Chains A and B, each alone.
Chain A
């Protein structure tokens, strides 16, 4: 009887430990993915920086209208 209780208890502990480990591992992976996507420059951001590197050929400066 005692052996049966100890076996069930051990199995329960193993299951809980596995669940906690899995949960923890899964959380770390998600964090890493979030961090990675946060750090990566998007194509739009890069395009914007490239765009800013050039001056439009019809660029003008404004000093106001005479009338």
Chain B
């Protein structure tokens, strides 16, 4: 049983971890660090990579729709299309990423950073071309955009999250010392929600003795803090040589672009390589 003094030490570690996050915010943002917390196992890593795949696919669809509107208005969309072409190369890299790889956190951090950079580049470019009224019109058109591909992603992600939660439920049962297999099966089969699972587990724990509740609380807290510290360590590792890896990715993409004879895409990637060289500061996202 973990004593409350060790919990206090763990709390201090949690505070220390927050300080590290704050001081290194210029490297890996806190939101991304939190997202990597579940990547300590292959299911968690698979969820994050699938979510990134879905987010890029969604933005590609929105970007394609925006380009259609711009073309109809007579604008030159070649630069925007080149950004979308690079996004397609990025999407393929995410799809090829191995969730079981030892550096899956680093891969996720790198590719998410690229996805954000390309999304911002597209957004900035389209804002140069259209006024606020037209931009709002396009936003309305693409806001609730969905298709079968996105629905399929949502189903796969939900299925994986259920597996992750089922594993978490079994971990909780190990701590509590009680098991309800029916509940776990019902959840796995999609007959009950994660909210109902939480509510049932809380109800079981709340009926226990004060000592048992303290023990459960300590173990849950310790697990959470350990997971946060591991995520921070992985994020710090991912921050090391971030710019070097980014340069390598862009060079690899340029090589792929050269095989497609897509001059605009080659120019887009070359510009990004040039910008990174000129503005290189060793910082990630």
**A34 touches B (CB below 8 Å):** no
Chain B residue at minimum C-beta to C-beta distance from A47? B202
Interface size class of A (residues with CB under 8 A): 20 to 34
| Contacting pair B161 A55 (CB below 8 A) | yes
Q: Indicate if B59 sits at the interface (CB-CB under 8 A).
A: yes
Q: Mark B207-235, 1 if CB is under 8 A from A, else 0.
A: 00010011011101101100000000000
Chain A interface mostly helix, strand, loop or mixed? loop
Contact B220 A49 (CB under 8 A): yes
Interface of B is mostly: helix
Q: Which of B169-218 contact A (CB under 8 A)?
A: 169, 171-172, 193-194, 197-198, 201-202, 205-206, 210, 213-214, 216-218
> Which residues of chain A come closer than 8 Å to B52, judged between CB atoms?
61, 63
Number of chain B residues close to chain A: CB under 8 A: 54
Please give me the residue from chain B that is nearest to A52 by CB atom.
B224
Contact with B along A27-67 (1 / 0, CB 8 A): 00000000000011101011101111111111111111111
Given A55-B168, A65-B123, 4 additional A-B pairs, CB 8 A? A41-B214, A54-B168, A55-B47, A64-B120
Q: Residues of B at under 8 Å CB distance from A? A: 4, 31, 35, 38, 47-48, 51-52, 54-56, 59, 62-63, 66, 112, 115-116, 119-120, 122-123, 126, 135, 138-139, 142, 158, 161-162, 164-165, 168-169, 171-172, 193-194, 197-198, 201-202, 205-206, 210, 213-214, 216-218, 220-221, 223-224
Give A contacts to B, CB under 8 Å. Answer: 39-41, 43, 45-47, 49-67
